[in-house]
Amino acid sequence: MSKHLRKVIAAILIPFSAAVVVGLVVLWPGGAPPHQRTGVGFDRQTQQATVTTVTSVSCQVGAGGQAPIGDPSATGGAPAAQEAKKGPCKKATVRVDTGKDKGRTFTELVQPDQTRQLHQGDKVVVAYEPKAPKELQYAVTDLDRKFPMALLAGIFAVAVVVVGRLRGVMALVALAVSFLVLTLFILPAVLQGSNPLLVAVVGSSAIMLIALYMCHGLSARTSVAVLGTLVSLLLIGVLGSQFIGWAALTGNTDDSTGLIHGLYPSIDMSGLLLAGVIIGSLGVLDDVTVTQTSAVWELHEANPSMGWRGLYRAGIRIGRDHIASVVNTLVLAYAGAALPLLLLFSIAQSGVGTVATSELVAEEIVRTLVGSIGLVASVPVTTLLAALVVSADRPAPGTAAPVGAQPVTASGGRGRRRKR
């Protein structure tokens, strides 16, 4: 039965892999479609710049001789004496370092209660609006974080290689490939108007095949993990599609999604939400399926005489512990990403039920629960497949064990050989 199952797995994965390649070719976008800049959020023109000097000035008068934006004394708010208690304002001189205006300087007034303060020598990102008056064309929008981010990425890569060695190197290569598939295929294809769900399925499948086979090799063990991941992704896709539809989730709940919908009205935002659920679940699914498959293979190596039922029972005991940890991990990962939303439960005047069923929060709840169901299902599915496939290597009845070998009990311990 196990040998027949191997053929069935090959008969499924080979056409599936071919379909993924065809899907990549057919849906390949060739770049994001152009659009007219809105000047809002990330759609602004930006340049790199440096803060050259910072001096203290009165908050009453801005750099251009006018009251600064947000100054309460200019709008009939708090008197100037109250503003003075907060400390003096700062006038930062900023030099543009890139673009056609390289070397040009402008001034920025920084209020004492602003979250982001500027200091001499800071590298910053500035927005450019060509239609504005010349003295207002540039404004600081953020700090330049390239160096600390690159340093952190370097530390991560070194840690992975030192601990994982060759496997770590292959994992980094697979990570780079996954990022390329995401940026060169999935995102542009969605912007081009392709069905987000179809794009997510094809892109996620390509990432799954490349990452698993690249990191773990072309083997029956990896193929079982791939098939277990595929079955779980299909379950997540079906459940996500049903419950996103039943809950009437539009996927258009914040400024970012609103801007995307405004720029590209043809994008199916609810489909984009479902695509995010599938892609977000893929990484944790890979971990679960690979771990369960490896556990069953190691149990078989420890006791080759154990049948598929015994392997499944032992593997599922390991899987129960895995389920408890990964579900908690997934929930906390989503909670960390949506931490501002969780604050709504604390500050909302409405009841918890009203807040939890609002679309903004319901999206995260559906995303978490659907992904968790797929994770839970992946454990018995992958464990069963692995037990059936690896039991093909079970020694035939009556085969003598190697001289000096000690049999292994079902629990993995060494025991005495029983007399027959």
Percentage of the chain beyond pLDDT 70 is 77
**373 has a pLDDT exceeding 80:** yes
**360 has a pLDDT exceeding 80:** no
Encode pLDDT of 120-133 as tens digits: 888 888 888 888 88
Query: Which residues, in sequence order, are CB contacts of 203 under 8 Å at separation 6+?
Result: 181, 182, 185, 186, 189, 279
Give residue 38's identity as a one-letter amino acid code: T
**2 has a pLDDT exceeding 60:** no
Average pLDDT over residues 13-40: 78
Q: What pLDDT is attached to residue 390?
A: 83
Q: Name the strands in the sheet holding 105-110, side by side, starting at the edge strand that comes first in the sequence.
A: 105-110, 89-96, 45-57, 123-128, 138-143
3-state SS, residue 139: strand
Give residue 209's identity as a one-letter amino acid code: L
Kindly report the number of other CB atoms within 10 A of residue 412's CB atom: 11
348 falls in which pLDDT band (50, 70, 90)? low
Kindly report the number of other CB atoms within 10 A of residue 390's CB atom: 25
Note if the pTM is more than 0.85. no
| 212: DSSP letter | H
Tokens of 244: 């996103």
| 42: DSSP letter | G
Average pLDDT over residues 135-146: 84
Confirm if 136 and 118 have CB atoms less than 8 A apart: no
Encode pLDDT of 66-108 as tens digits: 444 334 333 344 444 444 445 678 888 889 888 888 888 888 8
Tell me which residue has tokens 């464990």.
383
Q: What pLDDT is attached to residue 412?
A: 42
Average pLDDT over residues 405-416: 43
**286 has a pLDDT exceeding 80:** yes
Residue 35: burial class (beta carbons within 10 Å; 0-12, 13-18, 19+): exposed
Confirm if 227 and 12 have CB atoms less than 8 A apart: yes
Q: Supply the mean pLDDT for the chain.
A: 77
Q: What pLDDT is attached to residue 366?
A: 85
156 falls in which pLDDT band (50, 70, 90)? very high
What is the distance, to the nearest Å, from the Cα of residue 264 to the centroid of all Cα atoms in its chain? Answer: 23
* Alpha carbon distance 27, 31 (integer Å): 11
Give residue 37's identity as a one-letter amino acid code: R
**Least-confidence region, from 8-22, 284-298, 311-325, 343-357:** 343-357
Q: What pLDDT is attached to residue 345?
A: 67
Q: What is the CA radius of gyration of the chain?
A: 29
Q: What pLDDT is attached to residue 77?
A: 43
Query: Which residues, in sequence order, are CB contacts of 291 under 8 Å at separation 6+?
Result: 322
* Alpha carbon distance 73, 96 (integer Å): 31
Helix axes 308-337, 269-302, angle to 10 degrees: 140
Q: What pLDDT is attached to residue 88?
A: 78
* Alpha carbon distance 211, 296 (integer Å): 21
- Please state the domain extents for the chain: 2-29+164-393, 45-143
Average pLDDT over residues 42-65: 74
**243 has a pLDDT exceeding 80:** yes
Average pLDDT over residues 268-278: 83
Query: Which residues, in sequence order, are CB contacts of 196 under 8 Å at separation 6+?
Result: 190, 267, 268, 271, 272, 274, 275
